[in-house]
Amino acid sequence: MKLKYLKHSLFALLLISSFPITALAASTGTQITKEATEVNATLTFEKEELKTGDNAFTLSFTDENGNPVFIENLMVTADMDRSEDMGNDGMDKKEPKQLDLQKGSQDGVYTGQVDLTNNGKWILATNFDLESQPQTIDFDFEVKGSGPNWLIPGIFGGVILLILVIAVINKKSKKA
């Protein structure tokens, strides 16, 4: 009976440990706020730490009192910062990425996705009209490399460890 309980406990522990702790915690994401003439713009990424690959974001525009502002002719582009020499990363030959946005549930809120292909400093440029006046707000942010995916090797290692533990327990129970 004790061996069966121990086997089930080890299996449950293996399953729980295979999930990253950060997946269980709530995340507010990366948030950048900029001020311009008569408008505040906030860029919020879903992820706390920006990495290469697809990243979802929300753009919101408010006045000084926090009320949503109606924006016209919004165009958003993403590009690496070209003011610094990034070496031979190939980005100098690419045009800035024009991003497609979806209107949010209220005025002044937009959502979209951006594919950040390289690590380094990026600029998300917003061009829009506010009361027929053209405005530009640039958001600067740093992108880190995504690194290796340790989930699959971790699962294989956990399964091998579980098999070894069960084999040792079965061997000891046969001797007793």
Q: Does residue 154 lie in a domain region?
A: no
Q: Where are the beta strands (DSSP E) in the chain?
A: 31-36, 39-45, 53-62, 72-80, 97-99, 101-103, 109-116, 120-130, 133-143
Cα-Cα-Cα-Cα dihedral sign, residues 144, 46, 139, 65: negative
Is 157 a member of any domain? no
Structural domain total, the chain:
1
Q: Residue 131, exposed/middle/buried by CB under 10 A (0-12, 13-18, 19+)?
A: exposed
**Cα 28–Cα 103–Cα 101 angle in degrees, nearest 5:** 80
Residue 168, in any domain of the structure: no
**For residue 159, is it within any domain?**
no
> Residue for token digits 């490399």?
145
* Residue 89 to residue 87: CA distance in whole angstroms: 6
Residue 39 inside a domain? The answer is yes
Is 100 part of any domain? yes
Please tell me the chain's helix, strand, coil percentages from 3-state DSSP, rounded to the nearest 5.
25, 40, 30
pLDDT digits (tens, 9 = 90+) for 151-165: 788 888 888 888 988
Domain that holds residue 76: 26-149
Residue indicated by tokens 């440029």? 125
pLDDT per residue over 121-138, tens digit each? 999 999 999 888 899 999
Task: Evaluate if residue 86 carries a pLDDT over 70.
Answer: no
Residue 110 burial (CB count, 10 A): 18
Residue 12 in domain: no
CATH number at residue 94: 2.60.40.1930
Q: How far apart are the first and last CA of the chain?
A: 14
Residue 104 located in a structural domain: yes
Please check the confidence at residue 81 and state whether its pLDDT lies above 90: no
Q: What would the DSSP string read from start to end of 154-169?
A: HHHHHHHHHHHHHHHH
Where is pLDDT greater, at 37 or 10?
37
What pLDDT is stored for residue 158 in this prediction?
85
